[in-house]
Amino acid sequence: MRVAPKKHLGQHFLVDENILRVIDRLAELEEGDVVLEIGPGRGVLTRFLAERVAHVHAVELDRSLEGGLRDLQRTDVHWGDALALDLATLEPTPNKLVSNLPYNVATPIVVESLDRLPSVERWCVMVQREVADRFFAEPGSKAYGAVSVLLQLATERTGFHPVSREVFRPRPNVASALVAFRRTAPGIQPRVKRVVEASFAHRRKTLANSVALAGLATRDDAIVALGAIGRGAAVRAEELAPRDFLELADALA
């Protein structure tokens, strides 16, 4: 039975299997890999992965898709919200996250996986092109933001591939891209994450004002901390490089 994609879940199912070869290359799939897939949908990517790796953990929220995810070799299907499940307890432990991510949760899933899934060393995810551009945006660019800083503090990009809208059903109204990256650091310390998120919370304000509005420090203390890392009181968050936020978090502490 064909299941209609649900717009409120951000579902856009893969229908063109040619893109799977690109995923295989960017994810650098190996026989011994244990892959976490979030949002398997009808299982097109799931089956492809299961034929090539040691094990697949597929996490799906929509129970109406159960029929298409039965009897998959070397695959465990976990039903529930990926942001609520304790994915760190999965056995065998996943070392890669390879997914056509649901549009409405793509960014939080990627950001949370940096800390919640320390075993994951490589990612290859399909996301909106706008989101993919944010992941590794340069300081000072319009796309640069909190997610850019957090990802670049813990990973480096290893691949990028624009994806045609025709590989999905329904055809999305936005462009998509595959982005691959590998871990370079264990994760983001909570205090650093708080400073990064507070700094970008009010993009039109100075960084000192944004930090003060978030309650992390007074404006005066934030200005002193910025001075300690060689920055002026009028600097905005998008002017700082990712590594600058590590120094700022230390100065604020």
Query: In the prediction, which pLDDT does 46 show?
Result: 95
Question: What is the C-alpha to C-alpha distance for residues 145 and 147, in angstroms, rounded to an integer?
Answer: 6
CATH number at residue 233: 1.10.8.100
Helix axes 190-199, 242-252, angle to 10 degrees: 110
- 140, 221: one domain: no
| Mean pLDDT within 140-157 | 98
Residue 19 amino acid letter = I
Q: Sorting pLDDT into bands at 50, 70 and 90, what band is 29? A: very high
Q: What does the mean pLDDT of the chain come to? A: 92
Q: What is the mean pLDDT of residues 77-86?
A: 96
pLDDT band at 136 (very low <50, low <70, confident <90, very high): very high
3-state secondary structure 206-234: CHHHHHHHCCCCCHHHHHHHHHHCCCCCC
- Residues 19, 139, single domain; the answer is yes
Domain that holds residue 139: 7-183
Residue 211 has pLDDT above 60, yes or no: yes
Whether the CA torsion 166, 112, 27, 143 is positive or negative: it is positive
49 and 24 in a common domain:
yes
Per-residue pLDDT band at 17 (split at 50, 70, 90)? confident
CATH of the domain at 132: 3.40.50.150
Per-residue pLDDT, 12: 58
- For residue 178, the surrounding DSSP H or E stretch is strand 176-183
Please check whether residue 84 lies inside any domain of the structure: yes
- SS3 sequence of 36-47: EEECCCCCHHHH
Same domain, 124 and 85: yes
96 domain residue, yes or no: yes
Greater confidence (218 vs 175) lies with 218
Asked whether residue 2 is assigned to any structural domain, the reply reads no
Structural domain includes residue 227 = yes
Tens-digit pLDDT profile for residues 230-252: 999 999 999 999 999 999 999 99
- Is 1 a domain residue? no
User: What is the distance between the alpha carbons of residues 212 and 207, in angstroms, rounded to a whole number?
Assistant: 9
Identify whether 48 is part of a domain: yes
Give me the pLDDT at residue 103, please.
84
The tokens for 130 are 């706008």
In a domain, 154, yes or no: yes
pLDDT on residue 7: 47
The whole-number pLDDT of residue 168 equals 67
Q: Which residue has the higher pLDDT, 15 or 211?
A: 211
Q: How confident is the model at residue 175 (pLDDT cuts 50, 70, 90)?
A: confident
